[in-house]
Structure 1
Amino acid sequence: MNAGFGRIGRGSFAGNGEDPPRRQPPTSVWLKRGLLWLLAMLVVGGALWLLMPSSEGEPTKLALASIDPAPPTTASDTSTAEAAGLDRMTISSQTWRRGGLGSKALVTFTVRNDNEYAVRDVEIVCAFTRRDGSHLTDRSRVLADIVGMKSRKTFARVPVGFVNVNADQAKCSLVTARRA
């Protein structure tokens, strides 16, 4: 008859049918705690970043103005300083698409010049709107290329700037041009 008192005093490592408790090295414990703290800080930091108010505010509307260059001082400067007549210039076709991870507008358009002279430094302004037609933003760009007299020139994928993610439509128009 055995009452089981033979194992008394032998500690927890005696063969009582249980495995001894496992001990982890202190470095792995600190590493796990450090990773948990890092994860907690990332979650809290991300939540704070999402709750911060944006500094963008309302989109600003640009006032479009055409400034004519100063009158020439000599007769030789006449052809380079005169503003071109925009009444005989048009944009005959235009399309746009997104580029740069969807944040930039790339516009493809054709400028038609029916004047009796070539033009250069053509400035365009593109107005971007939402699907419902409400205005979002305006972007402008000066094109340094020359459009010959009584001709047309296609400008492909011209980057006009950053555009709102809600932009659905774009309408570009000519603002200024100079005689070449």
Structure 2
Amino acid sequence: MNAGFGRIGLGRFAGSGEDPPRSGPATSVWLKRGLLWLLAASIVGSAVWLLMPPSEGNVAQTEPVKLALASVDPAPPAMASATSAAEAAGLDRLKISSQTWRRGGLGSKALVTFTLRNDNDYAVKDVEIICAFARRDGSHLTDRSRLLADTVGMKSRKTFARVPVGFVNVNADQAKCSLVTAQRA
């Protein structure tokens, strides 16, 4: 009851009883090349995977760290505690009175405009600020800091316009800047 389907596709070797010729060295060369390409692709893929930054996944976001107002004090250790307390109290009278931010650099950089108000009886210089960026829902994204080399005179205010503080995430919608350090001028 053989319908003859066993001979379909065998061509001239169908009824002769001999096996079709095996392809010789050409098949083994192609097989070896294919395995080499597969090995190379897996090595490249593994290297790319290792170089990628870790995913945050569902890890809980930590709250931004609130930094205390501090200053560098060149006084000797015996007088350092009294001097630094006095300077820290004086630097409490330095504050950011207004602030706004916008995107620049094709939307990847944060440009902050703010006004520093110095109510101290001395000028301050080397003011360092830190800006915390958050999503629309308020979850923290990143912090960027910047050292301002300008001097703010005593009992005055100074506006810093469009200060670049660094690259920000595309999801950043809010920014809050704070003072970190300042020195007497």
TM-score of the two chains, using structure 2 as the length reference: 0.58
Work out which of the residue numbers 164, 170, 173 in structure 1 matches 2:175. 170
SS at 2:152 equivalent: coil
Specify the alignment match of 2:128 in structure 1: 123
CA spacing shift, 1:102–1:67, aligned 2, 3 Å: same
Specify the alignment match of 1:55 in structure 2: 53
Q: Residue 86 of structure 1 aligns to which amino acid in structure 2? A: L
Task: Give 1:22-171 correspondences, 5 Å limit.
Answer: 54-55=52-53, 57-58=55-56, 64=67, 68-72=71-75, 83=87, 85-171=90-176
Deviation at 1:90, TM superposition (A): 1.2
Query: Which of the two has greater helix per residue?
Result: 2
Query: In percent, how many aligned pairs have the same letter?
Result: 74
Q: Residue 53 of structure 2 aligns to which amino acid in structure 1? A: S
- Counterpart Cα distance in 2 of 1:83 and 1:56: 42
Deviation at 1:89, TM superposition (A): 1.1
Gaps of 5+ in 1: 1-47, 74-80
Kindly report the root-mean-square deviation, in angstroms, between the aligned alpha carbons of the 2 structures: 2.9
SS at 2:92 equivalent: helix
Deviation at 1:67, TM superposition (A): 5.8
TM-score of the two chains, using structure 1 as the length reference: 0.60
4+ aligned runs moved over 6 Å, structure 1: 59-62
- Counterpart Cα distance in 2 of 1:90 and 1:67: 13
Figure out how many residues of one structure are paired with residues of the other and give that number: 125
